[in-house]
Structure 1
């Protein structure tokens, strides 16, 4: 599909994240979401470990997800303010589609944990690229909820970690280009001398 762009390179150069709070319907259909997730799993994976999992939080489950977030937040802050409560509620209900990405390391493997973490990040990016290829916008968020054991325990168990919350939908407005690093500051040529 390549999102009506003429070449795969133009497609890759056009991918950008969208703000989940600005995403609107429609989101991916069931078949599209399955294809997006299948593509996400086609990622570098030393040892063929699949050290990642994806959990789809359906629209009918967003209220329960919000309750988990509220309870987890109150563990460290028993009297949250109105703005904090509203932010949690918005987070739980934004965008048409929500996928929780879990880093699921294989402890018994000889493959270093670092490589498994890199594979998880690559799988998340593949998910975002696949959503873009289907004409949707994606946003990958972390924040306090990704670091909460209480939230994590709703989706998995230690030693798993939440790699992020990936929201997918249709952009509610024009996507803005964000500043990118200058080529010369992040690319160099190695000199052995």
Structure 2
């Protein structure tokens, strides 16, 4: 059995990091102090032009079920043929973990900073959240699902027209053993450029 999430050094954490499954999380989630620490680490990413092209939305406690009502109603409007079982699953998406944190990309056209670089910065924020949560001993998973791409859900989240969900980060305590997946051999992905 491999050793996952070894925090004995920064490099071993990077080499052994493994997400938990949002489907197998329970309380407790991060404390307010831990969440603050996670967010302080999250914002220490490359940010060309110091634009801060991201922000956060947090769901905890009853807010998760209330937002579940929103997701359920939207899914029912999109798929009226689906029954109670599917609607119950959709309603429970944010109830799988005690804390759900959205990273919102606020990337916008800029005369000097490419949109792509701003979007990559939001992705780096998501990754820093995973690393810092893991270092604190929390289970975490970066997800999106259909809710990240639906215009009506975006409005319900309070997103501006140009904003996009870069990630939904589920945070909690794992209730099942972590299982690895096949990882690529980085040497098979590496090429050495040579002058033609």
State TM-score, norm by structure 2: 0.91
Residue 164 of structure 2: aligned partner: 161
Contact 1:142 1:165 in 2 (8 A): yes
Contact 1:147 1:162 in 2 (8 A): yes
Q: Matched residues in 1 for 2:77 and 2:152: separation?
A: 9
Residue 25 of structure 1: aligned partner: 27
Contact 1:16 1:177 in 2 (8 A): yes
C-alpha RMSD of the superposition: 1.6
Equivalent position SS for 1:34: helix
Residue 151 of structure 2: aligned partner: 149
Q: Quote the offset at 1:79 in angstroms.
A: 3.1
Residue 138 of structure 2: aligned partner: 136
Residue 171 of structure 1: aligned partner: 174
1:45 is aligned to 2:37 = no
Q: Matched residues in 2 for 1:176 and 1:56: separation?
A: 27
Q: Matched residues in 2 for 1:109 and 1:138: separation?
A: 36
State TM-score, norm by structure 1: 0.92
1:180 to 137, 159, 183: 183
| 1:51-98 CA distance string (max 9 Å, x none) | 111111121201211011112223321232233212212212111111
1:98 is aligned to 2:92 = no
Runs of 4+ in structure 1 over 4 Å off: none
Q: Matched residues in 1 for 2:192 and 2:22: separation?
A: 37
Q: Quote the offset at 1:109 in angstroms.
A: 4.7
Residue 69 of structure 1: aligned partner: 71
| 1:105-147 CA distance string (max 9 Å, x none) | 1334521111111001000100111101111111011121110
Contact 1:49 1:106 in 2 (8 A): no
**Unpaired stretches in structure 2, ≥5 consecutive residues:** none
Residue 7 of structure 1: aligned partner: 9
